[in-house]
């Protein structure tokens, strides 16, 4: 419930930033507009991160969400597990960190060199961590089936006499015999 409340806070924050941009557009420099737009992007990325954690966490730890063939089903939801969720979160954190780092470099004249250095080091730590998590997930995930098992899975079904039983996806008899 707390994450859903936090999502509401980020919607409110987005509306405040957007209102500030719209009402002050005549008085803002190009740099200020860019920073406000980056702030909007940052808020949206964090809100999307929250949605991913809420839905992915529920799907992984509580109960499956049955959205098969629904046009709004996120692609990643069909194969979500704790490791996939960790990698997605790490990549989202890298994106959010990138936005903050860009904001820092745009305001470089108002930020100390030491602060910029530490923000860069922290960002690189996030990047390295995300890459490490992705590599670990790739190493630990099940290997793809070998070519022979893929070919066997694509072969047409046969009845007891060895004849092709059914035509998958409207394939013609000649196509099925060629596959056999």
Q: What is the pLDDT of residues 50-68, one digit of tens each?
A: 888 887 777 766 776 666 7
Share of residues in the chain with pLDDT > 90 (%): 13
Instruction: Give the tokens for residue 17.
Output: 């930033």
Q: Which residue shows structure tokens 């046969």?
A: 158
CA distance 95 to 102: 11
Q: Check pLDDT > 50 for residue 180.
A: no
User: Does the pTM of the predicted model rise above 0.75?
Assistant: no
Q: Is 164 left (phi over 0), alpha (psi -120 to 50) or beta?
A: beta
Longest dimension (CA), the chain: 82
At 54 the pLDDT is 81
Structural domain spans, the chain: 2-160
User: Among candidates 24, 22, 3, which has minimal Cα distance to 14?
Assistant: 22
User: Among candidates 162, 25, 48, which has minimal Cα distance to 99?
Assistant: 48
Residue 119 pLDDT level (bands cut at 50, 70, 90): very high
Instruction: Write phi, then psi, for 164 (nearest 5 degrees).
Output: -65, 125
């Amino acid at each position: 419930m707390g994450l859903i409340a936090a999502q509401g806070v980020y919607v409110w924050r987005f509306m405040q930033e957007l209102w500030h941009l719209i009402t002050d557009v005549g008085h803002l420099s190009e740099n200020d507009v860019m920073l406000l737009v980056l702030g909007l992007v940052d808020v949206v990325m964090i809100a999307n991160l929250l949605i991913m954690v809420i839905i992915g966490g529920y799907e992984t730890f509580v109960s499956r969400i049955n959205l098969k063939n629904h046009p709004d089903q996120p692609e990643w939801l069909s194969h979500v597990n704790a490791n996939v969720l960790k990698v997605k979160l790490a990549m989202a954190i890298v994106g959010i960190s990138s936005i903050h780092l860009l904001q820092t470099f745009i305001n470089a004249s108002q930020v100390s060199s030491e602060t910029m250095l530490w923000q860069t080091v922290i960002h690189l730590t996030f990047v390295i961590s995300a890459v490490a998590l992705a590599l670990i997930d790739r190493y630990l995930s099940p290997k793809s089936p070998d070519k022979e098992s893929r070919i066997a899975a694509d072969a047409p079904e046969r009845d007891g006499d060895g004849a092709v039983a059914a035509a998958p996806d409207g394939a013609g008899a000649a196509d099925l015999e060629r596959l056999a």
